[in-house]
Amino acid sequence: MNSINKAVDVFFSIGSNINPEKNIQFAIDQLRNFFIHLEYSSIYRTEAVGFKGDYFLNLVAKTVTEISPEIIIKRLRKIEADTGREVGTGQFSSRTLDIDMILYGDRVDELIRVPRDDINLYAFVIEPLAEIYPKGIHPTSGFQYSTLWEQFDKREQQTERISLQLS
């Protein structure tokens, strides 16, 4: 299971609403230490979804890797824990950091939850994904991410691209 795979595009959704600039920069730094190459979308400011809370900052990052998804997921949980994220506070709550692997190549796997349902549910995931990978094809729907974003109902979830530079 932890064997080397062929190189695939892997995408992460990254968000925070507790010290978001600091925690997102930390996440990017940690991902850069783990992956040889990393690209990321613009940063988007969004209202909390499903609860009352401070605004979130969100982005999508991309890498190409041969590392197994199981090892990647363990690394993501460690990065979250290193920011003081408390697991078990509920899906809809404030958080220091939330990093999810939303795509692992074109793999469809319910156990590791790829592709993440979040792609179709949340503007803060599909908009930055469509920005960074517009012509990419969703592995189950067959639609390009740019098309999914165009068709997304934007009335309920507002996003605002902000000019925050990550170092």
Tokens (6 digits) for 155: 């009335």
CB atoms within 10 A of CB 2: 9
Residue pair 41/131 in contact (Cβ under 8 Å)? The answer is yes
Q: Is the pLDDT of residue 2 over 70?
A: no
**How far, in Å, CA of 84 to CA of 100, rounded?**
16
The proportion of the chain whose per-residue pLDDT surpasses 70, expressed as a percent, equals 91
Q: Give the mean model confidence (pLDDT) for residues 67-75.
A: 96
In a domain, 167, yes or no: no
Residue 137 has pLDDT above 60, yes or no: yes
**pLDDT above 80 for 51:** no
CA distance 113 to 116: 6
In whole angstroms, give the CA distance from residue 164 to residue 30.
18
The CA–CA distances, whole Å, from 8 to 25, 34, 42, 47, 140 equal 24, 15, 22, 32, 17
Residue 1 falls within a domain, yes or no? no
Is 38 domain-assigned? yes
Query: Is it true that the peptide bond before 20 is cis, omega within 30 degrees of 0?
Result: no
Domain presence at residue 30: yes
pLDDT recorded at residue 163: 85
Count of the separate structural domains present in the chain: 1
Rounded to an integer, the average pLDDT of 111-138 is: 97
- 126 domain residue, yes or no: yes
The tokens describing 102, both together, are 């939303």
Instruction: Establish if 3 belongs to a structural domain.
Output: no
Q: What is the mean pLDDT of the chain?
A: 91
The confidence score (pLDDT) of residue 1 equals 47
pLDDT in tens, 75-113: 999 999 999 866 554 555 678 999 999 999 999 999 999
Residue 72 belongs to what domain range?
A: 8-162
The answer to whether position 2 is within a domain reads no
pLDDT in the model for residue 121: 95
At residue 48 the predicted structure's pLDDT band, cuts being 50, 70 and 90, is confident
Distances in Å between the Cα of 106 and the Cα atoms of 11, 37, 69 are: 11, 19, 12
Query: How much is the pTM?
Result: 0.91
What backbone torsions phi and psi does residue 74 show, to the nearest 5 degrees? -60, -40
pLDDT band at 54 (very low <50, low <70, confident <90, very high): confident
* pLDDT exceeds 60 at position 32: yes
- CATH number of the domain that residue 14 is part of: 3.30.70.560
Residue 139 lies in a domain: yes
